[in-house]
Amino acid sequence: MGSCRRKRYRGNNDTVNNLEKLLAAAAEMGYLVFVSPHYYYPFDHKWEFGGSLELLMHSIGMFDREGPLTLEGFDGSGADWLDVYKPYLEAENVVVANPHKVYGPEQNDLVLQLRKRKIDRVILGGMSANLCVEAHM
């Protein structure tokens, strides 16, 4: 009998796999999951200035989408979910907020989504702890 092994992502902190464990636990416990995605649209690339990391993300197409009203070119792009997360993030217990542009939720509706559900305690996780995750606190 052969074994079926899942692809493991390796990094200094095993972030990808630890986030998968967190999403699996949320699904198992019936918790809501709120996602604050980071997307850039073509009109965002016309900004007059930006920080060094922001400029890098623009130059490599990180988080790029064709537009806010289309999923054309989304699948497999830098804006798409990692395949390992798709079963969790495309589930009924997930709320995807409007995208944020820089690091924090100041430009999206994440806080409103939480407030309207009277949620005042969260477990916060993400791919870049010293940027987007800390900015969402």
> Which residues in the chain belong to E strands, given as ranges?
33-35, 94-96
pLDDT tens digit sequence for 108-126: 899 999 999 999 999 988 8
Q: Tokens 């850039």 label which residue?
A: 40
Ramachandran region of residue 113, left (φ > 0), alpha (ψ -120 to 50) or beta? alpha
Q: Is the pLDDT of residue 28 over 80?
A: yes
Q: Is the pLDDT of residue 2 over 60?
A: no
Q: Is the pLDDT of residue 5 over 70?
A: no
Predicted pLDDT of residue 10: 60
Q: Which residues are bridge partners to 22 per DSSP?
A: none
Q: Contact, 32 vs 93, CB < 8 A?
A: yes
- Asked whether the whole model's pTM tops 0.85, one would answer no
